[in-house]
């Protein structure tokens, strides 16, 4: 593998795995699946911790997907198996699904079936076999990929005809109310609605009105490097909920529906009116929304390189104001920028996870090597590195449904 190949990712790898996943399904369940679907993980270019404030984000889909081979059942049973699991098939009754009743990874797909049924959609059971290349625990939305692939598969298996943003909302509800994680809607919107060679301009207040912003990185002589720090600090879960509550409290104190309703012009006056501990949170959200608007303008002008300083400024805000970075992500950002990256930032919820670095095409190896060396010198495990071309959102891989499921 030469160096160019090593850092190129055409996003076709997972599509070619559909046949193998269908075959594994047949061996497990003794019949062919009705179809094979895929839903990707994501990295967010800019717009972090803004979605639950009704604000903006700009994610791109990863070439890594969760694949699902699925076959509808008429007896109300939901059977789940994952190639990354312990080998067992989990068997549940759709009628008995309830928050808290399912633990571990199966809560995410089961939660989607529960959320669809709870929204009044006529869904029943299914046999499901998952196989994923989305790294887990790396802040790359492996759980959203798991939810969203079930949402798109069920949409077709049960002929629901739901639009993408509605499937994303169902998947988010599964995560919030069934799996108990108080996330916003960005990850699910990215997994369902992203398109290849584009970033998704999301307005979390009106997700149905999202826009595709063309992003031909290679055409502009650029590359996007993902640096998975391979650390995940435990305080993540509780801290996310506390930050979200802090933002909601600040909005209430300011008499606003959400922090999205505060702009840069009103920021100074608003900060004077808030208790000291809420000031940095509000400052981050308002400046971060402005960074998304700025980034979208630059991309629309065809100047993706201008994203570099916006990314690095976003990281400083997450580190100093929102305080969700950690020594490893700070080190990855600093080492990448020192090695010539145009800009870098942590991506996702924080407290570990991944960093993205915008680099000149061909310098991925040098930047990645510099980060790896800095990690070694600091006594950290080497990070996992890969390059990303903005890839497609959730889709069916096998062109025709093998069997129409009448109801
Ligand atoms: C996690 C959540 C998202 C979003 C990000 C931070 O990924 O799932 O909804 O809030 O953190 O931007």
pLDDT in tens, 38-97: 999 999 999 999 999 999 999 999 999 999 999 999 999 999 999 999 999 999 999 999
Distance 184 CA to ligand 1 centre (A): 6
pLDDT given at position 398: 76
- pLDDT at 5 > cutoff 50: no
- Per the annotation, the verdict on 272 as an active-site residue is no
Contacts with 366 (C-beta within 8 Å, 6 or more apart), sequence order: 339, 340
CA–CA distance, 381 with 226 (Å, rounded to integer): 16
d(CA 200, CA 182): 22
- Summarize the confidence of residues 336-356 as an average pLDDT: 97
Q: Measuring from atom 5 of ligand 1, which residue has the nearest CA?
A: 349
In the chain, where the domains are located: 14-214+391-396, 218-388
Average pLDDT over residues 296-325: 98
pLDDT at 285: 98
CA of 187 to the centre of ligand 1 (A): 7
> Does residue 55 have its Cβ closer than 6 Å to ligand 1?
no
What is the average pLDDT across 130-136?
A: 96
Q: Tell the residue nearest (CA) to atom 11 of ligand 1.
A: 349
- The H or E element that residue 287 is part of is helix 279-300
- The CB of 39 under 6 Å from ligand 1? The reply is no
Mean per-residue pLDDT, 204-213: 97
Q: Report the distance separating Cα 225 and Cα 245, nearest Å.
A: 32
Question: Given 187, 203, 234, 320, which residue is catalytic?
Answer: 187
CA-based angle 259:237:166, to the nearest 5? 60
Q: How far is the CA of 30 from the centre of ligand 1 (A)?
A: 39
Give the whole-angstrom CA distance, residue 184 versus residue 176. Answer: 9
Tell me the CATH number of domain 14-214+391-396, given options 3.30.230.10, 3.40.50.10800, 3.40.50.2300, 2.60.40.420. Answer: 3.30.230.10
Q: What's the 285 CA to ligand 1 centre distance in angstroms? A: 13
Fold of 218-388: Alpha-Beta Plaits (3.30.70)
88 HSE (CA, 13 A, CB side)? 7
High-pLDDT (> 90) share of the chain, %: 92
Is residue 236 within 6 Å of ligand 1 at its C-beta? no
Crossing angle of helices 279-300 and 236-253, in 10° steps, is: 90
For 335, residues 6+ apart whose C-beta sits below 8 A from its C-beta are 370, 371, 373, 374, 375
* Contact yes or no for 118/95 (Cβ under 8 A): no
């Amino acid at each position: 593998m030469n160096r160019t190949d090593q850092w190129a990712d055409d996003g076709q790898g997972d599509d070619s795995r559909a046949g193998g996943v269908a075959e594994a399904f047949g061996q497990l369940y003794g019949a062919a699946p009705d179809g094979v679907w895929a839903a990707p993980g994501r990295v967010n270019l800019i717009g972090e911790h803004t979605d639950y404030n009704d604000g903006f984000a700009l994610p791109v889909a990863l070439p890594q997907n969760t694949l699902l081979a699925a076959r509808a059942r008429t007896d109300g049973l939901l059977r789940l198996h994952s190639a990354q699991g312990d080998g067992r098939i989990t068997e549940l009754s759709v009628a008995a699904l309830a928050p808290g009743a399912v633990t571990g990874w199966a809560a995410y797909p089961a939660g989607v079936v529960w959320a669809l049924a709870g929204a009044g959609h006529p869904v029943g059971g299914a046999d499901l076999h998952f196989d994923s290349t989305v790294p887990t625990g790396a802040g790359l939305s492996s759980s959203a990929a798991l939810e969203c692939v079930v949402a798109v598969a069920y949409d077709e298996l049960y002929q629901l005809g739901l639009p993408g943003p509605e499937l994303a909302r169902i998947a988010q509800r599964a995560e919030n109310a069934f799996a108990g994680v108080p996330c916003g809607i960005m990850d699910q919107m990215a997994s369902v609605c992203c398109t290849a060679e584009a970033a998704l301009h999301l307005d979390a207040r009106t997700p149905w009105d999202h826009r595709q912003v063309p992003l031909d990185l290679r055409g502009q002589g650029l590359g996007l490097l993902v640096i998975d720090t391979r650390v995940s600090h435990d305080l993540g879960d509780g801290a996310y909920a506390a930050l979200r509550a802090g933002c909601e409290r600040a909005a209430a104190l300011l008499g606003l529906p959400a922090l999205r309703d505060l702009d840069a012009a009103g920021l100074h006056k608003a900060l004077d009116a808030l208790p000291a501990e809420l000031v940095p949170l509000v400052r981050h959200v308002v400046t971060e929304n402005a960074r998304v608007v700025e980034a979208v303008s630059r991309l629309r002008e065809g100047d993706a390189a201008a994203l570099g300083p916006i990314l690095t400024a976003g990281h400083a805000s997450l580190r100093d104001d929102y305080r969700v970075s950690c020594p490893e992500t700070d080190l990855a950002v600093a080492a990448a920028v020192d090695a010539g990256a145009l800009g870098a930032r942590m991506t996702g919820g924080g407290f570990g996870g991944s960093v993205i670095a915008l680099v000149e095409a061909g310098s991925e190896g040098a930047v990645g090597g510099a980060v790896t060396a800095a990690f070694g010198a600091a006594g950290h495990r080497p990070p996992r590195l890969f390059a990303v071309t903005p890839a497609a959102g959730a889709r069916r891989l096998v062109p025709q449904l093998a069997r129409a499921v009448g109801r």
